[in-house]
A and B are shown apart, each in its own frame.
Chain A
C-alpha cells in the first residue's frame, strides 16, 4: 500500500482529499512533519483559499525547503487548486507574492468581463487533455469522463506548452486545468470532489508514486 502524505499547512480541505485517497486504497497521513513527508511515496499539496495566505503558511512552517528537497529526490508531488497555483513563480491575488517557482508561470485573475460571465468559475467543466496528459494523468478516462469540478477565480498564465497536461475553456478563455513538470503534477480542478472521474485521476497519481 502506497503511503501518501496530505500536507497540512492550515489551508485547504485536507479531510476531503484524505477521504478520497482512502476510498481508492491508499494509506493516508495528514502531516506537516518533515520526517513523515520524506518517507512518503507521494505528497499532495491541497489548498482552498488565497495565494498570499497559502504561501505565507508554507514559509512560516518551514515547508518550502521540505517540498523542494522532496522533489529533488525525484518523488511525486500533486498540487490541487491553490496547491497547484503555489507551484508557479508568482501570484497576483490581493498582493503580488512569490510562489514556489517550481513551474514557470504566474497566477492571475481570469480575464472575464462581468457583462458576459461570472467569477468564481464554479462548474463541472470538460477538460481537453494534451498528449502529455493522456500518457499518465488521465490514462484510462474516456472523453465523456473528462469532466471535473472547478471552483476558482485565478488561473495559471504564461505556462510553457510542455508543462500543460490539460486545458479548460471558460467564457472564451483557455485556462490551464492540469500541469506537469517531471515528477510534479498540478490540477486546477478538485479531483477529490469530481466523483468517479476524480477518483480515477487520483488512482493514476497514486499508481505513479
Chain B
C-alpha cells in the first residue's frame, strides 16, 4: 500500500485573527482561528498550518493563546510557524498544543538552531520552511536560491545544498514554498519540488501557487511531494478539502477520505 498523501490548509494569523480573507458562507466569524480550524477539520484536512504574521514581538503571546484554543477543540496535527527564533519559542508552542513548529529565518541566521531544536524536541516536530526562488537564466540548468523576508532578501544559499544540510541537522520535514509561484495560482514549481524531494530523505510539503485541483495532483505525482499545502483555493471556497481529496483519489492518489466529507 502506498502512503496516504496529506492535504494541509494554511492560515495566516495576525494578532490572533485569521487574515487573507477566509470566505466561507457557513461561518459566523471568518476571523476566528477556532471556527476556521473546525471547518477544515470537518472537511477532512489532515493537518493545519498556522503562520503567525504578527509584526511586533510583544503581540506574539496572542499566538500561544490561539494555539491553546484551537488545540482544545480540533484533534488533528497543528504546525505553527512565524517568529520561531529560540528554544523557548518552540517549548511555548508545543506546550500550548502545537505538534510541530516551522523554522525559517532563524534557520538561515543560525543553522545550529535547527540541530539544537531537533535534539531537544525530536525531528518529528521540527519543520524547516524554505522560500526558494529560481535564479538560473532560461535555458540554463535550473538553480534555486534561498530568500528570506518574504522573498526580498537573497541569501546566496543554494536550495538543494540547504535542504540537504537541514535534513542532516535533524529537520523532520521540509516545507517548500516557491516564491516565483506564491500567490499566482499558476501551480507549484514542479521542477523545484522534484529536485528537493530527490535530495532529502525526509517528507516534503509543497507550497506556493495552487489554483486548481490538478495543481495538487501535479505536486504529488510529478513533484513527488508527500503533502500539499494550499491557502486561497480553500479559503475562498473555490474547493473544499473534501472535494480536493475526492479528486486526488480519482487520480489514483491514496488520501484519507472522511466518512461524510462535505
Contacts and interface: CB of A to CB of B under 8 A. Distances in A.
Interface of A: 13, 15-16, 19-20, 22-23, 48-50, 114, 118-126, 142, 144-145, 147, 149, 151-153, 169-171, 190, 192-196, 198-199
Contact of A198 (B68, B75, B124, B172): B75
Given A122-B226, A151-B124, A152-B124, A13 B99 contact: yes
A197 to B, nearest CB: 9
A48 B121 CA distance: 8
Contact of A147 (B124, B172, B256): B256
B166 to A, nearest CB: 14
User: Secondary structure at chain B's binding surface: helix, strand, loop or mixed?
Assistant: loop
B41 interface: yes
B132 interface: no
B172 A122 contact: yes
A144 B259 contact: yes
Contacts of B256: 124, 147
Contact of B3 (A50, A125, A190, A193): A125
Nearest to A172: B1
Contact of A125 (B4, B76, B77, B203): B4
6 contacts: A15-B68, A20-B75, A23-B73, A48-B125, A49-B122, A144-B257
B195 interface: no
Interface of B: 1, 3-4, 6, 41, 46, 68, 71-73, 75-77, 94-97, 99, 121-125, 172-173, 200-203, 226, 256-259
B172 A193 contact: no
B94 A122 contact: no
Contact of B203 (A49, A118, A126): A118
B3 A123 contact: yes
Contacts of B203: 118, 120, 122
Given A19-B75, A20-B75, A193-B76, A49 B121 contact: yes
Nearest to B72: A19
A13 B124 contact: no
B3 A119 contact: no
Contacts of A144: 257, 259
A95 B195 CA distance: 34
A123 B253 CA distance: 14
Given A19-B72, A122-B173, A170-B3, A13 B94 contact: yes
Contacts of A170: 3
Contacts of B124: 48, 120, 122, 151-153
A126 B1 contact: yes
B171 to A, nearest CB: 11
Closest 3 CB pairs of A and B: A124-B256, A114-B201, A151-B124
Given A48-B122, A118-B203, A153-B123, A195 B4 contact: no
Contacts of B123: 120, 153
Given A48-B122, A153-B123, A192 B75 contact: yes
A19 B37 CA distance: 15
